Amino acid sequence: MIKTLNKFIRDDSGAVMVLVALGLVALIGSMALVIDAGVGYAARMKASNAVDAAVLAGSQELPDDPTAALNAAKNYVSLNGVDLADVTFSIGEDHRSITGDINREQDMYFAHIFGINTRNLKAHAKVKVGPATKLGAGTGVVPIGVLQDDIKYNQPIVMKEGGGSGLQGWYGSLDLESLTGGNGGSSTYEHYLTYGYDGEGTVGYNTLILEENGNMNSANANAIEYRMDLCAAECDVECTPENYDPDCPRFVVVPVGYMEADNKHFHVTSFAAFFIMDYTGNGKDNYITGQFIKPYYITGAEVDDTITDNGVYARVLCE
C-alpha cells in the first residue's frame, strides 16, 4: 500500500494536479461560506441592535401616545441604516408594549459560485412598559411619603406639609435606612433628600418603611435649596413643570401609599414623580410645593403591573 502511494505521488501523468485543483475548489468554497457566514452574522447583529434601540426609543412615548411611539421607533431605526420597508413595528393592545421585527434578504458574496445568492435575515425585539418597582440606589427616590389621595396632576400642589400633614404624629418624613435594618436620623434624611436614596435596599410594592420622627425643617430647607441651586447652575433651560432639562435635580420620586395602623410604618403601594417648585415656611409650618409629573421613566427598575399606576414607569427589553 505504501509503495503504491509513493508511486502515485511520484507519478508525472497529471493526476496529482487534478487532485490539487479539486482540493483548491473545496478550500475556496469553504472559505467563501465562512466569509459569507461572518458577513451574515455581522449583518444580523447590526439589525438586532438597531431594532432593540428602536423599540427602546419608541417605548418612551408609552403608554400615553402610541402613535408617537411608532414614529419614534421608525425614525430611530432609519437613523441606524435599516430600510423601513424591511421592518414592522406594533403596539400592544394595552399600549404598554412595542414590538419590532426586521425581515429581509441578505445578499451573499462568494456563495454565488454555489448558486446561493441570498439568505434570510431576521431580528426581533419587544419592550414592555409598566409601573416601576424595586427602586434602589440611583433611581431618585427621596424619603418623603405621599398619600394616594393626594396625587393630582397639572396643578401646583403641596407635597410635604408641616404639622403632621393631617395625620396625628406623622410629618411625611421616612427613614429609608430602615430598608436594611438600620436607623436614620436628621443627617441621613437630609442626605437622601439632597442626593436621592443611595443605600443598598430597594423600595417596591408592599414595602414597609419606618416614619422619621420630627418635621425635619432644617434638613428639608437645606436639601431643597441644594437642588434648586444645582438646577440653576447646570440645567440647559429655566426648568418648569412644562419645560425642563431631562436630568433636572428638581425631579424626585416619592413613595406613595398609606400609614399603617401602628402609625410607625408607611406602606408603599406605588410611586410618583414630583417637580419641586419651592420651599417655604419655618418650624412646623413648612411646605415643599411643586407639581406631580407623568410619565416618568426610571432606568434599572423592574416592572410590576399590579402596582397602582401613578405614571412612574420602568422599561424592560423582554424579547
- Averaged pLDDT score across all residues of the chain: 84
Residues 6+ apart with CB under 8 A from 197: 135, 136, 137, 139, 141, 142, 143, 176, 203
List, in sequence order, the alpha helices (H) in 60-104: 66-79
Does residue 1 carry a pLDDT above 60? no
Q: What is the pLDDT of residue 9?
A: 52
Q: Which of 184-193, 207-216, 295-304 has the highest mean pLDDT?
A: 184-193
pLDDT value at position 214?
Answer: 75
Q: Kindly compute the dihedral angle of the four CA atoms of residues 206, 212, 218, 220, in this order, to the nearest 10 degrees.
A: 0
Confidence of residue 281 (pLDDT cuts 50, 70, 90): confident
pLDDT of residue 92: 93
Residues of the chain with pLDDT > 90: what percent?
Answer: 50
Higher-confidence position of 196 and 281: 196
Residue-level pLDDT at 109 = 61
Q: Which helix (H) or strand (E) holds 111?
A: none
Q: Give the end-to-end CA distance of the chain in Å, rounded to a whole number.
A: 60
For residue range 56-107, list pLDDT tens digits in order. Answer: 999 989 998 999 999 999 999 888 888 888 899 999 999 999 999 998 877 6
**What values do phi and psi take at 214, rounded to 5?**
95, 170
Does 15 score more than 70 pLDDT? Answer: no
Model confidence, pTM: 0.77
Per-residue pLDDT reduced to its tens digit, 28-38: 566 666 665 66
According to the model, what pLDDT value does residue 111 have? 61
Q: Given pLDDT bands bounded at 50, 70 and 90, which one contains residue 47?
A: confident
Mean pLDDT confidence for 127-134? 93
Give 240-260 pLDDT, tens digit per residue.
Answer: 999 999 899 999 999 999 988
Mean pLDDT across 263-272 = 92
Residue 24, pLDDT score = 57
Indicate the domain borders of the chain.
14-129, 146-317
Task: State residue 98's pLDDT score.
Answer: 95
The pLDDT score that the predictor gives to residue 268 is: 95
pLDDT confidence of residue 3: 61
Q: Return the C-alpha cell found at 148.
A: 394616594
Of 150, 265, 271, nearest in space to 203 by CA: 271
Asked if pLDDT for residue 4 goes beyond 60, the answer is no
Summarize the confidence of residues 140-155 as an average pLDDT: 92
Grouping H, G, I as helix, E, B as strand and the rest as coil, residue 256 is strand
